[in-house]
Structure 1
Amino acid sequence: MSQPRPSSEVRQFTIDADDDGVRLDRWFKRHLPQIGFGTVSKWARTGQLRVDGKRVKPEDRLSAGQVLRVPPGGEEAGRTKPRPQRQLSPDEIAEAKAMVIKETKSAIVLNKPPGLATQGGSKTHKHVDGLLDAFVEGDAPRPRLVHRLDKDTSGVLLIARTPGSAASYSKRFSGRSARKIYWALIVGVPDVKEGTIDAPLAKQPGTGGEKMHVDMEGGQPAKTRYRVVDTAGKKAAWVELEPLTGRTHQLRVHMEAIGHPIVGDGKYGGQDAFLTGSISRKMHLHARRLVIGEPGGGKLDVTAELPEHFAASMEQLGFDPAMSDASPVREDITEKTRAEKKQAARQHAKQYRKSQRGPRRARGGASKPKGPAKGKKR
């Protein structure tokens, strides 16, 4: 978009490819939010708004390369103005840049660490959204979130560079054409190794909207496709999860609903969500891969590496990341090498548990956890 002249003069804007196909009134909301819809309608009705010299209506769609004429003034008291850029510390800028795993013309893709919220709240002051000013350069628009991950969920998080790309990505998410694949470690092993969980979800009464639950009568439709990739005896399994809808805490509630809570998810699984031994008590849910159409054509296909605690648990349980379709294919992986890795991992875990017996006794002994939830047939 070309730079505007002062608002006391007629302004002219060249429509960017990013705004190709957007409605005129929506263009104003993106780029001149201080000018209200009423003013835009009046200007259009009186012929003061022109595109390539021709009169237009608020609902008309713009095309890249067209020149939009905007008359002077129009700013309304109280209208939303662009958010001022936040000054970040060098450490905050470094933290934001360290999360980047891929950049394109339209997007910045982050690998969000566990424990970092996506957006702020009443008691949340540090979050991804607050770090996005690290990616603002010159007069470029501030990047914006397209979707969210729970605070304790790690992995792929897509950030749109411009309002136009944000609208394009959002449409793909809402239209379910974007493919999201999560990895999770769960307690126990489902009897049915692959299938779809179809269980409507609603806010759980009495929790202030903080928790969700299965509500077959009044819940919103929610579907999750799952596949067991590998198992560690009967105590745990590694699964791929693909949400076919986008409900709050969907994957966490669905896995608990079939009797196999995600390891570390005490909010939904209670004490049953924790394994004994050296397995971390942090949540083991990771947005591993995202495949989504780019605004200018083509596909964005990106994979995020596991956080340290998740990778350590995978090793200790003998799970080989190369066994998943969400990992690059390796031709050298054989059944023998998988078995050897699992055996080595089990031996490592056994030695670790022995080394921890002394410290546990010194603390008075660990409380005996409940047994793993039994698998449910569906």
Structure 2
Amino acid sequence: MEQENTKISLNIDEDNASKRLDLYLYQQYPCYSRTFFKNLIEDKLLSINGKIIDKPSYITKNEDLIQFSFPKLKPLIESNMDNIRDLNLDVRVLYTHQDFLIVYKPANLTVHKPSTNSKEITLVDWLVCHFKELEKVGDLERPGIVHRLDKDTSGILIIPRNNQAHIVFSNMFKERKIEKTYIAVVKGHPMSSSDFNKIDKKIRRDIAQRNKMAADYTTGRDSVTYYKVQKYLTDASVLEVKPITGRTHQIRVHLSSINHPIIGDELYGSKSKLISRQALHAYRLSFNYKDIDYVFWYDIPSDMKTIIDQL
């Protein structure tokens, strides 16, 4: 990651001409997100050939001179760090490696702030409070984060502790070299077999409801989810779920698309009297790092155990 207030000058050559400006910058500095550069441009903090440019969609031209500075790091939290330490967020560090952490995130905790103006306390706030080195790892907006869980999904996450590890784990997720396994409690009785069942439907943004995703066979990004029935309940089922791709709300929208929404998922199903959030838990991660195989897991929390007992 570049140091804050570092002044950058980039000369566009023929190979990099005819590219979207935000995409070009992201390709040059992959430790930052494309959204970071989009915001930097829209905030009028970048010039091309001496003229301020505020359109991320600007198409680069041969011999363009791009100039900008990486902004000064803003405090991730406005309140005192000690106050964060004292909060009972129920975050747990399950494993500590010199290059990464494995942490448990409870339900009702957002991984990172949805916007720079948000005052919501997040997992990132807690992590930076306890592991100061994470503040300059990866993206300024979400330091140390290479994958996410929805706010109301519980489970385990990998947190890289340095920029080299951040790049390695980011690439491992892109290349699908990290296996993620979830436990979900769904309505009804999905088809059962000795092997995993496959859901192969594209996922796109819902046209009518922009905070929601939709699944079909024709439009959207390729998305694959495997599931296996672990247990049939009276009118519900416990599933083991393995998403191969990593689309927004993928497991939730895929299971809803086969008419077996996750219990408690108000966005893709309906509210439940038995649980206050979607009954979805990321319980296992497995990967190879520096020629060593790692497998981590964390049992389902008490609220999911309770509904399994009651259904």
User: Where does 1:1-378 land on structure 2 (aligned, <5 Å)?
Assistant: 30-32=1-3, 34-38=5-9, 78-84=69-75, 86=77, 88-94=80-86, 95=88, 98-122=91-115, 125-137=120-132, 141=136, 144-193=144-193, 194-208=196-210, 210-233=211-234, 235-270=235-270, 274=272, 279-294=274-289, 296-317=290-311
Question: Partners of 1:281 and 1:258 in 2: how far apart?
Answer: 23
CA shift, 1:301, in A, is 1.7
Cα deviation digits, residues 337-376 of structure 1 (max 9, x gap): xxxxxxxxxxxxxxxxxxxxxxxxxxxxxxxxxxxxxxxx
1:188 and 1:260 in contact (8 A); partners too: yes
Question: Partners of 2:283 and 2:246 in 1: how far apart?
Answer: 16
Gaps of 5+ in 1: 1-29, 42-58, 60-75, 318-378
Q: Percent identity?
A: 27
Q: Which residue of 2 aligns with 1:62?
A: none
Q: How many residue pairs align between the two structures?
A: 247
What secondary structure is seen at the aligned counterpart in 1 of 2:267? helix
CA shift, 1:33, in A, is 5.1
Cα deviation digits, residues 305-330 of structure 1 (max 9, x gap): 3222112223334xxxxxxxxxxxxx
What secondary structure is seen at the aligned counterpart in 1 of 2:198? strand
What secondary structure is seen at the aligned counterpart in 2 of 1:213? strand
CA shift, 1:230, in A, is 0.9
- TM-score normalised by structure 1 residue count: 0.59
CA shift, 1:221, in A, is 0.4
Q: 1:303 to 1:207 in 2, by over 3 A?
A: same
Cα deviation digits, residues 272-309 of structure 1 (max 9, x gap): xx4x7xx3243100000011232x33133211232221
Q: 1:125 to 1:253 in 2, by over 3 A?
A: same
Question: Partners of 2:9 and 2:205 in 1: how far apart?
Answer: 38
Question: Partners of 1:167 and 1:213 in 2: how far apart?
Answer: 30
CA shift, 1:167, in A, is 0.7
More helix by share: 1
Question: Partners of 1:243 and 1:138 in 2: how far apart?
Answer: 31
- TM-score normalised by structure 2 residue count: 0.71
2:90 and 2:106 in contact (8 A); partners too: no
Amino acid at match of 1:313: I
Q: 1:33 to 1:215 in 2, by over 3 A?
A: farther
Q: 1:309 to 1:141 in 2, by over 3 A?
A: same
Cα deviation digits, residues 250-272 of structure 1 (max 9, x gap): 1001111111110111210136x
2:155 and 2:283 in contact (8 A); partners too: yes
Q: 1:312 to 1:165 in 2, by over 3 A?
A: same
Q: Which residue of 2 aligns with 1:64?
A: none
Question: Partners of 2:6 and 2:310 in 1: how far apart?
Answer: 59
Amino acid at match of 1:150: D
More strand by share: 2
1:97 and 1:134 in contact (8 A); partners too: no
1:96 and 1:134 in contact (8 A); partners too: no
2:76 and 2:125 in contact (8 A); partners too: no
Question: Partners of 1:40 and 1:172 in 2: how far apart?
Answer: 31
Question: Partners of 1:126 and 1:85 in 2: how far apart?
Answer: 9
CA shift, 1:97, in A, is 7.9
Gaps of 5+ in 2: 13-27, 29-66, 138-142
Name the Cα RMSD after superposition. Answer: 2.8
1:88 and 1:134 in contact (8 A); partners too: no
